[in-house]
Structure 1
């Protein structure tokens, strides 16, 4: 049975999907990454722009949002009745109060894009007020059921309501559909009443994107157990799952500790950012994320013998193929992905690797295309990108190495300093004071200062050194001046 551990009590929300106590998917949402898309506000029209067929709306954000005529229920109603198209001033006026929903976040100097057609959703149904529309998911496997749901939805739909039946509704009953529809309809009516009583523009409904994501993930899995540490979210999730007749069990854990630590997940989270991933047979994966693509290198363990070399390589690659899929999903790798398997001479083995990867990738909910092996034996695949990878979410590029994973060696830094000091050899200053780390000093001055006399002769100055802590190979030229002055300043500094 699958299990989900969801921690929502702190500002960073996390959930881990476990299979046999192993994390197979990890989602993290930090406050600065939250979007306002889907949030609903009561707004007030501040300016009508006939030339743009749009209005600016104050809704409680720093910048006013933009609402286009096409996003107004009144306009959509005229359009559905084939009435003549009118200008925006016929549908809305300055100072008017209305419900608006963010459809695109603020960007730079631009305010958010808004809609007055309010969209609410459950895992199996999307409800849109203000747009006379009916749609059924094209992913239904049974075309007869697709036609059935189109007819059933049209019978329950009211004027100015739009409905989209999602794929997960395919095998549910009409009672389940009606129950979800009434719940969404009631939520909309509640929002209208809240907006009517509001004295100023502001938020009336904040979409819980993390809980929505969690609900969607659960809906795709027949049964399992979820353990949560946030009581209100636990109650809300129970209500949602009851509406879907889900077989998942929801447990509230009120313990004082962190759930990820309690259920031994934190270690796996940390390991999911490691560059090297060990394989059971002694081999390993090396994973490198770059801006253009991700490279996964497969390294073998010890060979059994020359006669079995090809078979050993194939078995190692087959084991690696399963782990590659696991790591792609866990780390949320996307875009172009290149897997450098250990070179195999037999074509049947390459086909078996592709087949294994294809089978394992069926558990993923993203669009994945396995292109195949290149002439150099590298497997190419692509995975649709919908959100940042786990590495991008949880880490920043190193300010020292700028993401290269390499820093200047002590020799490089020492000789750079030597050249810079040499440029000052003709100055009238008697001495120079330099800060540097021990590794750079050992190269510049030699073991036990054996090279000091030579370097001082080269630069024509006495050299005073202050040692700094840290592994970074660096130096700072503090001051030039008289030997006595710098010696005194150095002693004060120390």
Structure 2
């Protein structure tokens, strides 16, 4: 998490003619804007050029590292043409460091005195990045902060006490509520995470005091901060994994970097001192990732084809709009009737699909094309399996029923780029499309270009420079290439192979 401090100047956007607001027009309340989004896109209530002065400074508590260009704030601004007057509600909050919506009033400005009134141009505001920027989409920020710990999530500005829905035992929920209510300070909000179930009181108290200390440190820094400024940043990935996942069920944690080992061991000693000895330094000659096959798994996770043990396979494609997953039986035919064979393949595919979704960190809309099944009982069993597997995912997911076409729609919370988008870049040869024109297609383009130039040919030699693959096709069709030259019977045709050219590039010159 990180924080920026922002203070706007006195400039306020005006309408043509210098008017501050057209007669009879009411103010429109600003919303949660996206940093770095196109300024002209007013229809989506983005931060436009006229608002830059008032949003020049902000304090931001950042959850993910972001390179957003501008800092948007939730503020009141005067309505301009193309901007809707309908107020919208900002999103923010708790859960597992995630977003939540809830009824009831919210403070106008986080970290400021409640009698300050609504946010105006020139005000300072503390904001948190809750979703990092994606291609063609800016980062999402909120004024409603949440600081996640091992067992708790602190919400400094929301007077609320909640318990994770996954803790179903009513007695345990009451115990946790009573415990946290004694520890929290006036005005603070807490949500008990699933990991807090059955934890002793001293561990819960230690986590609460830690989060309160983090918030106190943020407030101290803010007193002397000059906006924009980073006040706090979320833990690095290694300590974040230890905080959220490491527990007594794990035998050891191996780290192959001395400094990282000491940092992680001290971190575990702070939260779970009884487990600190399980954090060990990996000092073998072999590389850690190779020793445990991580490199091989990463390589598989970057492929679009995933093989199933039954002989079937999955095909996974990421697009701008959604993620498409296709299930194929492959060579698997089974020993029973067709419906049972298809169901067995689909069930295996469902478990592997959820595993791949988590492994590749896929988010947004995910559409799965399962093999068609006729019986309703088979469809219900497939849906039940998907629900069970998705229930183990820490990200928020939603599953729709199987459609008549055998399609299943899944939505999954996306907070950052997928594994593929993080580790890979678009292919410079095909510009990310995955396809280039064939050599035969390019050779036809060369033939048409020769026909176009034949009428004004004034040289004695026609030189065609192409990629080697295209040159091989042209050599086979030399007679076809000479036909457009017509009366220029004395013109020599020379085909040059140039490996430095792109497959789709060619050059024709008369000399």
TM-score of the superposed pair, with normalisation by structure 2:
0.68
CA positional deviation for 1:423: 0.9
Quote the offset at 1:349 in angstroms. 3.6
Alignment of 1:142-291 (within 5 A): 142-159=169-186, 161-190=188-217, 202-211=229-238, 213-218=240-245, 222-245=249-272, 249-254=278-283, 258-291=287-320
Correspondence for 2:492: 462
Would the alpha carbon gap of residues 375 and 57 (structure 1) be closer, same or farther in structure 2, given more than 3 Å must change?
closer
Change (3 A) 1:401 1:312: same
Per-residue deviation at 1:432?
3.3
Structure with a larger share of its residues in strand: 1
Number of equivalenced pairs: 426
Counterpart CA distance in 2 for 1:455 and 1:429 is: 14
> How far does residue 413 in structure 1 lie from its aligned partner after superposition?
0.9
Superposed counterparts of 1:5-404, under 5 Å: 38-40=1-3, 43=5, 45=7, 47=9, 56-57=56-57, 70-76=108-114, 78=115, 86=117, 100=126, 102-103=128-129, 120-129=147-156, 131=157, 133-139=159-165, 140-159=167-186, 161-190=188-217, 202-211=229-238, 213-218=240-245, 222-245=249-272, 249-254=278-283, 258-293=287-322, 294-303=324-333, 308-376=337-405, 378-386=406-414, 387-404=416-433
Given that 2:447 and 2:481 are in contact with CA atoms closer than 8 Å, whether structure 1 keeps it comes out as: no
Structure 1 residue matching 2:314: 3-state secondary structure: strand
The offset of 1:240, in angstroms, is 4.2
| CA apart distance, 1:218 | 0.7
Residue 380 of structure 1 and its aligned partner are, at CA, apart by: 0.7
Q: Secondary structure at the match of 1:145?
A: helix
The SS at the match of 2:441 is helix
C-alpha distance in 1, partners of 2:171/2:488?
88
Query: What are the ranges of 5 or more consecutive residues in structure 1 without an aligned counterpart?
Result: 1-37, 79-84, 483-494
Point out where structure 2 has 5 or more consecutive residues left out of the alignment.
13-26, 31-53, 61-66, 76-106
- Aligned equivalents of 1:375 and 1:220: distance in 2? 43
C-alpha deviation, 1:150, in angstroms: 3.3
Distance between the aligned counterparts of 2:229 and 2:382, measured in 1? 55
CA apart distance, 1:303: 3.5
TM-score by length of structure 1 reads 0.70
Aligned to 2:36: none
CA drift at 1:173: 2.3
Displacement of 1:158 in angstroms is: 2.9
Distance 1:299 1:458 in 2: 60
Q: 1:291 to 1:174 in 2, by over 3 A?
A: same
Conserved? CA contact 2:163–2:193, under 8 Å: yes
- Partners of 1:188 and 1:232 in 2: CA distance: 27
Q: In 1, distance between residues paired with 2:294 and 2:394?
A: 23
Counterpart of 1:237 in 2: which secondary structure? helix
C-alpha distance in 1 between matches for 2:396 and 2:494: 62
Report the secondary structure of 1:339's partner residue.
Answer: strand
Q: Report if the CA contact (8 A) 2:164-2:192 is conserved.
A: no
Contact 2:130–2:141 (Cα < 8 Å) also in 1:
yes
Go from structure 1 to structure 2 and tell me whether the alpha carbon gap of 1:275 and 1:159 turns closer, same or farther (over 3 Å shift): closer
One of 470, 487, 495 as aligned partner of 1:440:
470
Cα 1:113–1:367 change in 2 (3 A) is: closer
**Cα distance change, pair 86–256 in 1 and its aligned pair in 2 (3 A):** same
Q: Distance in 2 between matches of 1:349 and 1:67?
A: 49
Aligned-residue offset at 1:114 = 8.0
The Cα shift of 1:455 comes to 5.7
Deviation (angstroms), 1:214: 1.3
Relative to structure 1, is the Cα distance of residues 192 and 452 closer, same or farther in structure 2, using a 3 angstrom cutoff? closer
1:200 shift after superposition: 9.6
Query: In structure 2, do the counterparts of structure 1 residues 86 and 195 end up closer, same or farther at CA, with 3 Å as the change threshold?
Result: closer
The alignment yields a C-alpha RMSD, in angstroms, of 4.3
